[in-house]
Amino acid sequence: MADDAGALDAYSRAVIGVADRLGPAVVAVEIRRGRQRDADGAGSAVVCTPDGYLLSNHHVIDGAREVRVRAPAGEPTTARVVGSDPATDLALLHADPVALAAPAPGELATEAVRPGQLVVAIGNPLGFASTVSAGVVSALGRSLRGKDGRLIDGVVQHTAPLNPGNSGGPLADSRGRIVGINTAIIARSQGLGFAVGASTAAWVLAELLARGRVRRSYLGVGGATRPLDRRLARAHGVLATSTVEIMSVEAGSPAAAAGVRDGDLVIGLGPHDVTSVDELVRALRAVPVDAAVPLRLVRRGRLIVLPVTPVER
């Protein structure tokens, strides 16, 4: 019994420590999309810089006419939408740090979490401010569809209970570092919460701070995933069993300039293998804008490599 009590105390101390360290930086978000006085949307955000920048979800602030935020120790204040990224469901807000009572910003973790690791969610579910819940990391590397249809990669699945209003709030490790931004739950399920990973959040944060938007590489092709003939794969030393068949090439696009044709089979872009349309999108995400990279294709049974220079979408 003593050992059980000690373990419980250690668990409780860890969760309490996270709430004490990160809780003051988690703010309630209210959205007004129409002219009515009452809020018609709500969520959470977390202060991520000392000068009042906050990370939240795109779907929380999408279409907002007015955004108001309130930190636990601060006063309600209007926040400006600096930029948002539907493809990762992240948004960056800015509010007066004085009105927020200048809470210490949350720190984005640089170390990967592991399945089974303790995680703590803080947010404002159903309007109940500064709500703390705890669970464990269930799985890593999940993918969700963003509002624009793109895959959000590197999603953390966890068991910390979430409810409407938790969206945009942080998921933290036992040291209070942000390992994800909570973004989704599955209706009528239990113990299934999802958070956009810290590495994705850090990249989007840097892009939005620098430009107010996220730059993504663009090729200008339409494609479909199809099986790759085994004999063709063996002939070219390809281990994949599927590929992307080019169905259309936009006139004047980088793909057209490189000589890509309808019917080409894409098997790689730069250092990345391509086995599906989603894999091609992931590979493009990792390719710098305006930098030439090799596009590996199979055309009429022959392996060819074309230099292609993606541009900003």
From 167, 173, 253, 264, the catalytic residue = 167
> What pLDDT was estimated at residue 78?
95
Q: Say if 100 falls within a structural domain.
A: no
Cα-Cα-Cα-Cα torsion 33, 44, 116, 141, nearest 10 degrees, comes to 40
For the chain, state the CA radius of gyration.
22
pLDDT in tens, 83-125: 999 889 999 999 999 999 878 999 999 988 999 999 999 999 9
- Look at residue 47 and give its three-state secondary structure: strand
> What pLDDT was estimated at residue 135?
97
Q: Say if 102 falls within a structural domain.
A: no
The yes-or-no verdict on residue 8 having pLDDT over 50 is yes
- Please state the rounded mean pLDDT for residues 238-262: 93
Task: Please tell me whether residues 75 and 128 are part of one structural domain.
Answer: no
Task: Please tell me whether residues 198 and 229 are part of one structural domain.
Answer: no
> What pLDDT was estimated at residue 255?
95
- 276 near 225, Cβ under 8 Å? yes
- Look at residue 50 and give its three-state secondary structure: coil
Task: Please tell me whether residues 203 and 231 are part of one structural domain.
Answer: no
Cα-Cα-Cα-Cα torsion 200, 22, 132, 62, nearest 10 degrees, comes to -50
Q: How many residues are there in the chain?
A: 313
The yes-or-no verdict on residue 72 having pLDDT over 70 is yes
Q: Say if 26 falls within a structural domain.
A: yes
> What pLDDT was estimated at residue 190?
81
Candidates 40, 14, 48; CA nearest to 170 is 48
Last residue of a domain, one of 193, 211, 229: 211
From 44, 56, 58, 59, the catalytic residue = 59
Task: Please tell me whether residues 204 and 274 are part of one structural domain.
Answer: no
Candidates 271, 43, 8; CA nearest to 163 is 43
167 is catalytic: yes
58 is catalytic: no
Last residue of a domain, one of 194, 211, 228: 211
> What pLDDT was estimated at residue 259?
96
pLDDT above 90 covers a percentage of the chain that reads 66
Q: Say if 111 falls within a structural domain.
A: no
pLDDT in tens, 149-195: 667 878 999 999 999 999 999 999 999 999 999 998 877 778 899 99
> What pLDDT was estimated at residue 1?
46
Task: Please tell me whether residues 184 and 235 are part of one structural domain.
Answer: no
The yes-or-no verdict on residue 5 having pLDDT over 60 is no
The yes-or-no verdict on residue 3 having pLDDT over 70 is no
Last residue of a domain, one of 146, 181, 211: 211
For 159, the domain range is 118-211
Q: Say if 31 falls within a structural domain.
A: yes
Number of domains in the chain: 3
> What pLDDT was estimated at residue 149?
67
> What pLDDT was estimated at residue 232?
86
Task: Please tell me whether residues 23 and 43 are part of one structural domain.
Answer: yes
pLDDT in tens, 184-237: 887 777 889 999 999 889 999 999 999 899 888 889 999 999 999 888 888 888
Task: Please tell me whether residues 201 and 225 are part of one structural domain.
Answer: no
Q: Say if 103 falls within a structural domain.
A: no
> What pLDDT was estimated at residue 150?
67
272 is catalytic: no
- Write the DSSP symbol of residue 113: P
Lowest mean pLDDT segment, chosen from 41-50, 186-195, 207-216, 285-294? 186-195
Task: Please tell me whether residues 192 and 249 are part of one structural domain.
Answer: no
Q: Say if 150 falls within a structural domain.
A: yes
Task: Please tell me whether residues 143 and 161 are part of one structural domain.
Answer: yes
Task: Tell me the C-alpha distance between 42 and 279, whole Å.
Answer: 34
- Please state the rounded mean pLDDT for residues 297-308: 94
From 56, 84, 89, 133, the catalytic residue = 89
CATH number of the CATH domain containing 80: 2.40.10.10
Task: Please tell me whether residues 177 and 242 are part of one structural domain.
Answer: no
Phi and psi at 144, nearest 5°, equal -125, 155
Which pair of tokens denotes residue 307?
A: 């230099």
Q: Which band of pLDDT confidence, cut at 50, 70 and 90, is reported for residue 9? A: confident
Task: Please tell me whether residues 50 and 136 are part of one structural domain.
Answer: no
The yes-or-no verdict on residue 27 having pLDDT over 50 is yes
CATH number of the CATH domain containing 253: 2.30.42.10
- Please state the rounded mean pLDDT for residues 277-303: 89
Q: Which band of pLDDT confidence, cut at 50, 70 and 90, is reported for residue 7? A: low
The yes-or-no verdict on residue 148 having pLDDT over 80 is no
Mean pLDDT (the chain) is: 90
The yes-or-no verdict on residue 137 having pLDDT over 90 is yes
